[in-house]
Amino acid sequence: MDLSYGPEYDVFRDEVRTFIQDNLDNQPKPGAGPQSEEVRQWQAKLIENGFHSRTIPTEYGGYGAEPDIIQSRIIAEEFGAAQMNTGFSGQGISMLTPVLLEMGTEAQKQQFIKKTIHGELIWCQGYSEPGAGSDLASLTTRAELDGDEWVINGQKIWTSTAHISDWIFCLVRTEPEAPKHQGISFLLFEMNTPGIDVRPLVDMTGTANFNEVFFTDVRVPKDQIVGQRGQGWQVANAILGHERGSLAPPDAAMSRLNGVVKLMQQETISGERVIDNPIFRDRLLKLQGRVMAMQYNDMRLLSAKINKSQDTKLAGMVVKLIGTELRHEIECLGIDVMGEIGLSYGDNPYLRGNGSWQYQYMYFLGLIIGGGTSQIQKNIISERGLGMPKEPKIAQAGV
């Protein structure tokens, strides 16, 4: 066990700190729009200095560094500690770019990666459908080849940022006769193509975090496909795995838990600070122990990325399941600490933390469901982690 990053990284950390010190006043002002010039310039500066898109090759607009997990971790730590703007995020950067690097054609890499990481192209992800949630591979949005164009008909749901996106990466059924996992293709197309209708989907938080997207005879050039026809499922799976762990990072959970501590020190019940109430305090401490376990689990996973001989398969599989449930409970304690004040929302004058406790409490219930429900996670853990068999398939209905 050696938890130091080693002296060679001290120099790197100093470089990151120097950049942060020198640029504290250059980062975009809070509230600057994603299309504003200052945000674009900041993004370019981050990439130029290797603090964004660090390992993406220079020919595709990245910084071109060799992958180094610890350097990436140090950047995240230092930017986090200084609450420094970390630049653009989103599904185009976190999910599509890695896929294009691995499976895209040279022309696709040239066309999309540089613009995506510079925030010039915003992407949404078209996976889930009303009839294809946990059983995603049963999706029915169809694309049929007509000359040099795909013609797409169907509907997607839970599509984050669809209303502001320039492009979509989308799973469609192109081989209706093939077994369901082998009949899907991964297409890329512009959101302003005729026949696309985006409708916001207001959720329990009162916000439209997602959209429904309808396709009616949407015509897309034939070559806008990643991988071969029928390979879309493999492409999608590669990036879904990438999404899951990142939905509930333990460091963010600890930061929220520390927020609960502050709340408990400030809020009083009949003159007594909540932190001095042993029942509330025990709930807090119970959660603290659980978050700590997830933080060290995370360190073990980080270490395993460097030292490939460590077996952390199960440790990685549990992060989404435990992390989202845990976060939901932390936000719940934040609300319980406030009692009736915890009901406050919107313009209520007693609102605490801009309503983030209530918002996150509801939002994390969404994340328990989204990105593969807790029940699907348990299937994966039991089958791939513990080697238990799949449930036998039942005969087709009507047979």
Partner 1 sequence: MEFGLSEEQKLLQDSLTRFLGEQVPLDHIRAVAAGDRKDTTAWSGLSELGIPGLIIPESLGGVGLGMLDAVVVAEALGYHITPGPFLSSAIIAPTILMAAGQTDRLADIAAGHYRIGVALSEAIGSRLDAGISVANGTATGKALFALDAEADGYLINGPDNSVYWVNCEDSGLSRKLLTTIDKTRTICELQLDQAAAHLISEDPECLQAGVDAGRVIQAADSLGAAQCMLDQAVAYSMQREQFNRVIASFQAVKHMCAEMASQLEPCRSLVWYAGHAMATASDDARVTACHAKAHLSEVAQFVARTSTEVHGGMGFTDLVGLHYWFKRIGANRQLLGSPELVRNEAAKAQNLVA
- How far apart are CB 311 and partner 1 at their closest, in Å? 9
| Tokens describing residue 377 | 């996670």
| Cβ partners under 8 Å of residue 161, min gap 6 | 90, 91, 122, 123, 124
Q: Which of residues 192 and 307 has its CB atom nearest to partner 1 in the complex? A: 307
Nearest-angstrom CA–CA distance, 189 and 187: 7
Comparing CA positions, the residue from 114, 57, 119, 94 lying closest to residue 242 is 94
| Cβ partners under 8 Å of residue 30, min gap 6 | none
Q: Which of residues 307 and 396 has its CB atom nearest to partner 1 in the complex? A: 307
Nearest-angstrom CA–CA distance, 291 and 324: 11
Catalytic positions are 243
**Widest CA span of the chain, in angstroms?**
75
3-state SS assignment for residue 97: helix
Q: Which of residues 355 and 385 has its CB atom nearest to partner 1 in the complex? A: 385
By CB under 8 A, name the binding residues for partner 1.
1-6, 70, 261, 273, 275-276, 278, 281-282, 284-286, 288-290, 292-294, 296-297, 299-300, 302-304, 306-307, 310, 314-315, 317-318, 321-322, 375, 377-379, 381-383, 385-392
Sign of CA dihedral 276, 279, 280, 283: positive
Q: Which of residues 38 and 272 has its CB atom nearest to partner 1 in the complex? A: 272
Contact at 8 Å (CB) between 368 and 328? yes
Give the strand pairing for 225-226 and 184-190: antiparallel
21-28 contacts at long range (C-beta below 8 A, 24 or more positions apart): 23/84, 24/82, 24/84, 27/84, 27/85, 28/85
- How far apart are CB 119 and partner 1 at their closest, in Å? 32
- For the CA atoms of 131, 135, 138, 139, the dihedral, rounded to the nearest 10 degrees, stands at 50
Nearest-angstrom CA–CA distance, 197 and 40: 28
- How far apart are CB 225 and partner 1 at their closest, in Å? 36
Residues composing the chain:
399
Q: Which of residues 3 and 399 has its CB atom nearest to partner 1 in the complex? A: 3
366 backbone dihedrals φ, ψ, rounded to 5°: -60, -40
- How far apart are CB 278 and partner 1 at their closest, in Å? 7
- How far apart are CB 160 and partner 1 at their closest, in Å? 26
Q: Which of residues 222 and 286 has its CB atom nearest to partner 1 in the complex? A: 286
- How far apart are CB 330 and partner 1 at their closest, in Å? 15
